Structure 1
Amino acid sequence: MKKLLSLAMAAVMALSLAACGGSGASSTPAASAPAAPAASAPAEAAEFTGVEDGVLTVGMECAYAPYNWTQMDDSNGAVPISNVPGSYANGYDVMIAQKICDANGWKLEIVSSAWDSLCPAVQSKTMDANIAGQSMTADRMAEVDMAGPYYYATIVCVTTKDSPYASATSIADLAGGKCTSQSGTIWYDSCLPQIENAELLAPAETAPAMIMQLQTGAVDFICTDMPTAMAAVAKDDNLVILNFSGTDGDFQFASEEERAENVNIGISVLKGNTVLKDAIDSVLSAMTEGDFNALMDQAIAIQPEV
């Protein structure tokens, strides 16, 4: 098996070199992924794929449903969390990771990591890849290379049904509201500050903590992406999604390219690791936006009660 894997990886490397290091083009009909900033591949990345041992080590929070979560058994295809004995990871990210591993003959290893530690872990080669609901922003792609997109996530707000903001039709209708989002996200750093006179509280460390602040009345609304909002509403029928996308009242970006990079969700790998990036892209490019949405619906359906 090791010999076959080595031959397979050598073949992929040869193809990568023949294509001058270019990534496979996506066949999905949604917005295209932003181009990564030009950079020469680090020497060590050219020799490192991360899967020489036949194991793809993937980082994620394991606390960001429906992208990923922790459960206590292996039901519905859950995978053991290697650094949390007795716990299992599941969700959309795990499903995508498993598809990538199955297509390449790799074993999947899931590692639980704090959100802010994900990119540094890839940079230090502790993780081969992050499949963790990360937006393909220019800032992030200056630190790592990103395969994908593997999902297209509309930015929305969530409030309660009895809130005075429940009938909002634009971000202008949210003026003066108390709000928050998850730390280290475009939602907190760029979106919520666009709301006039918003009372922006400190960011939540995790998505569940952000949702809890809404449920307990600590904030009037939160900003997140559509899958996170859909998962929250599926488990709490007192919550309602405010979707302003496609209207003049939506959150604004400097350009359509900037908007795309914030709704395109990608997979982080070490900068210059074209072999692994291309192997991942070859799997993702065979999937359509409909495939992604169907898989996300499946993840939301099996998400456990929290």
Structure 2
Amino acid sequence: MKHVNIGGVPEHFNLAWYLTLKKGEYKAEGINLCWHDFPGGTGDMCKALRKKEIDIAVILTEGIIKDIIDGNPSKIVQTFIQTPLIWGIHVANDSAYKTVEDLRGKTAAISRYSSGSHLMAYINAKNNDWDLKNDLDFKIVGGLDGAIENLQNGNADYFLWEKFTTKPLVDNGTFRHIGNCPSPWPCFVIAVGKDFIESNKEDLKTILRIINKTTSEFKNIPSIDKTIADRYNQKIDDVQEWLSVTEWSQKLIDKQTIIDAQHELFSLNIIPEIVDYRTLTAKV
């Protein structure tokens, strides 16, 4: 049986992987697919891909584009979530900050450099006409738990994280939500190490075929809203809202989207150059 390591954030976006693993669909095809949670997010997954600790990552588009350009020997093989990610902008519940403009020049908590929370802070700054050199400051906190601690003790002032994941923390008074910053592109892609693609193409095709069948039918799974609410400590109304604004994809990310994303990242000095579509993607 072929052993394959895959990583992703432990969030509702990846429930389809859990469902297919629970049903033993990969093992039925001779593949022992082992899921690894990465609560630290994209930066941690990029590091794991480089070290070959995982073969596949379900990862934020902007983060893996930057890391491939920076030398990560991986390729994007498919879009996973076609719709943008809605990043909530959060402060501590007792914070004096009331609006996004109040955060100009303040310290953003980020999971790590080159993570989604880091890169999207630049997008938010650009959206609000901030000075990217003088109005941004960062505190590395490692993930959601670190953000809670650092916002509460005043070591950081605000934190960007997926709106629905953090909603329970808003509801219980840990965070206060003061705005949104949607990603300007499809939010999650599937990235795979180049060596794995070259030596395990048929296994990769099988894995994609299985997950794509489930994601194409995901919203029609009976009581899927209740399943998500129970598993991820969400309110049913929030889950239904999330389902209404989220679309999965079963196709390779298109060339124009890759070009547009790179131009945006380049304009923010996040990437040093714009590279060819084939440098970032592989069709399997």
Distance 1:140 1:282 in 2: 29
Distance 1:216 1:259 in 2: 32
Corresponding residue to 1:284 among 212, 215, 236: 215
Structure showing greater radius of gyration is: 1
Greater Cα offset, 216-225 or 137-146? 137-146
Q: Deviations over 1:177-236 (max 9, x none)?
A: 3322221223313235446353513322223212211122222211222133224335x4
Alignment of 1:1-306 (within 5 A): 52-53=1-2, 57-60=5-8, 67-68=9-10, 92=12, 95-101=15-21, 102=23, 104-106=25-27, 109-111=34-36, 115=41, 116-119=43-46, 121-122=48-49, 126-131=53-58, 134-137=59-62, 139=65, 142=68, 143-144=74-75, 145-149=77-81, 153-166=85-98, 168=99, 171-183=100-112, 184-189=114-119, 190-191=122-123, 193-194=125-126, 196=130, 197-234=134-171, 236-244=172-180, 259-261=184-186, 264-271=187-194, 272=197, 273=201, 274-275=204-205, 276-288=207-219, 296-301=228-233
Question: SS state of the match for residue 224, structure 1?
Answer: strand
Distance 1:128 1:199 in 2: 34
- CA shift at 1:105, angstroms? 4.5
Distance 2:13 2:85 in 1: 14
Task: Give the residue type in structure 2 aligned to 1:277.
Answer: L
Task: Give the residue type in structure 1 aligned to 2:56.
Answer: A
Say whether the 8 Å CA contact 2:16–2:218 is kept in structure 1. Answer: no
Distance 1:135 1:242, change over 3 A: same
Distance 1:126 1:179 in 2: 29
Q: How many residues align?
A: 203
Unaligned runs of 5+ in 2: 69-73, 235-284
Distance 2:93 2:35 in 1: 37
**Normalized per residue, which structure has more helix?**
2
Distance 1:151 1:209, change over 3 A: farther
Say whether the 8 Å CA contact 1:57–1:128 is kept in structure 2. Answer: yes
- CA shift at 1:259, angstroms? 0.7
Task: Give the residue type in structure 1 aligned to 2:177.
Answer: I
Distance 1:111 1:277 in 2: 17
Distance 1:221 1:124, change over 3 A: closer
1:42 paired residue number: none
Q: Deviations over 1:53-86 (max 9, x none)?
A: 3x553334xxxxxx42xxxxxxxxxxxxxxxxxx
Distance 1:292 1:110 in 2: 21
Distance 1:229 1:187, change over 3 A: same
Task: Give the residue type in structure 1 aligned to 2:18.
Answer: Q
Say whether the 8 Å CA contact 1:159–1:242 is kept in structure 2. Answer: yes
Identical-residue share of aligned pairs (%): 12
Distance 2:95 2:220 in 1: 33
Distance 1:130 1:295 in 2: 24
Cα RMSD, aligned residues only: 3.7
Task: Give the residue type in structure 2 aligned to 1:241.
Answer: H
- CA shift at 1:154, angstroms? 0.2
- CA shift at 1:158, angstroms? 0.6
- CA shift at 1:163, angstroms? 2.1
Q: Given the two structures, how large is their TM-score scaled by the length of structure 2? A: 0.56
Distance 1:212 1:92, change over 3 A: same
